[in-house]
A and B are shown apart, each in its own frame.
Chain A
Amino acid sequence: MALSEQDVLAGLAELVNDETGIATDAVQMEKSFTDDLDIDSISMMTIVVNAEDKFGVKIPDEKVKDLITVADAVNYITGNQA
């Protein structure tokens, strides 16, 4: 069953917290992964791979660079769920 945007945001926030220690409530839709959350490219890739597992969505390498904000990632995942 497809997850809601809120569920995906919550799940993504958990993955960010697991990888970086950033508090889940800091992971908000308008935040930029690099500029606001200071997540580097390697941590970002770990989060992406874990998100693929968690949400059952493929996120190819060439797509990762387009995921600039949390909203970009949430919308991509929500829109590509099976």
Chain B
Amino acid sequence: MKQLKQTEPVSYSRIYSLGASRGDLAVTNDDIAGPIDSSDEWIRQRTGVITRVRASEERSLMDMAVEASKEAIEKAGIDPSDIDAVILATISFPYLTPSGASLLSELVGARGAAAYDISAACAGYCYGIAQADSLVRSGTAKYVLVVGGEKLSDFISPTDRSISFLLGDGAGAAIVGPSDHPGISKTVWGSDGSHWDKVGMTGSIIDFRDNKTEWPTLIQEGQSVFRWAVWEMVKVAKQALEESGLGPEDLSALVTHQANMRIIDEFAKQLGLPESVVIARDVADTGNTSAASIPLAMHRLLAESQVSSGGYALEIGFGAGLAYAAQVVELP
């Protein structure tokens, strides 16, 4: 009997480049404090957020995803037609179908690429990098465009004190491709559905259709999420570091999901990294952009020369699901 042919594996993969696009409006704490009966001082002290970027009505999630993608593609030095797969990690693309990725692939010149969306909330980008790594190393795709993109401002309530005031809009993109040396370590990932109700929406779209609820908006049980995000996710981060074969002293940067500064601070403290490791703190000016937060934060560290290409970064995304994913990557 004839034998089935499978793909020829490739030894290594890496991130070639990053691209970034943020909302065009810088929304200050004073702009949003009134309806949540708060103040600039309280928000800064308790969350570390000074401004959050939001996209105006004329600037869509797709606009930001395209902008970020085009930067990443140009910096990677590849032709967009060489992209074999486009993965869009998002919770805020406003159509159930067709996927945002299929439109994105058309708009960036990657017609013909496999295209699909990932819904893994704040872990979405790291899930996407895990997928891209596997696709490249299995020989299924040569170049993969991974985008974390959100327009969360379409799904927030101005009077919600649990999460809405932290949220922002933006997109971060990465090109992943083959490499002559390891550039992405084993992803440590998973979920805990027993906490499915800890971060989510005020209702489903069916509830909205049937007039059982107002327009569904984002909400969370902040205390429970904080406990999980710090003490459980630090264990995941340590495991990812171990899987990478590196020690804390080998890292240039820690890029956690930019949920709020209190989580980042406590996380960094619990992880006990040396002072030489730069901690990404983009949340202060960008807010929490869910799937976009890690690529935006990493792009900023590089753009501001806080870290150099070739160094290693531990990235970890965690959020609604509850879902999480962590890997160590070589900085592009």
Chain A interface residues toward B at CB < 8 A = 40-42, 44-46, 48-49, 61, 64-65
Contact = CB atoms under 8 A, between A and B. Distances in A.
Interface of A is mostly: helix
A45 B227 contact: yes
A61 B46 contact: no
Contacts of B231: 49
A33 to B, nearest CB: 12
Nearest to A62: B224
B155 interface: no
B139 interface: no
Contacts of B221: 61
Nearest to B46: A40
18 contacts: A40-B46, A41-B226, A42-B46, A42-B222, A42-B223, A42-B262, A44-B223, A45-B223, A45-B226, A45-B227, A46-B230, A49-B227, A49-B230, A49-B231, A61-B223, A61-B224, A64-B223, A65-B223
The secondary structure that dominates the B interface is helix
Interface residues of B, number: 11
Contacts of A40: 46
B82 interface: no
Contacts of B227: 45, 48-49, 61
B148 to A, nearest CB: 25
A46 B231 CA distance: 10
A73 to B, nearest CB: 14
Interface of B: 46, 221-224, 226-227, 230-231, 262, 266
Contacts of B46: 40, 42
A53 to B, nearest CB: 10
Nearest to A46: B266
A48 B230 CA distance: 13
Nearest to A44: B223
A49 B223 CA distance: 11
A55 B182 CA distance: 44
Contacts of B222: 41-42
A46 B222 CA distance: 13
A49 B222 CA distance: 15
A38 to B, nearest CB: 11
A40 B226 CA distance: 12
Contacts of A44: 223
Interface centre among A40, A45, A48 (most CB of B within 10 A): A45
Given A41-B222, A48-B227, A49-B230, 13 more contacts: A40-B46, A41-B226, A42-B46, A42-B222, A42-B223, A42-B262, A44-B223, A45-B226, A46-B230, A46-B266, A49-B231, A61-B221, A61-B224
A30 to B, nearest CB: 23
Contacts of B226: 41-42, 45
Which of A41, A44, A49, A61 lies at the interface centre, i.e. has the most chain B CB atoms within 10 A of its CB? A61
A44 B266 CA distance: 13
A41 B223 CA distance: 6
B195 to A, nearest CB: 9
A42 B222 CA distance: 8
Residue among B222, B223, B262, B266 with max Cβ neighbours from chain A (10 Å): B223
A65 B221 CA distance: 11
A43 B19 CA distance: 35
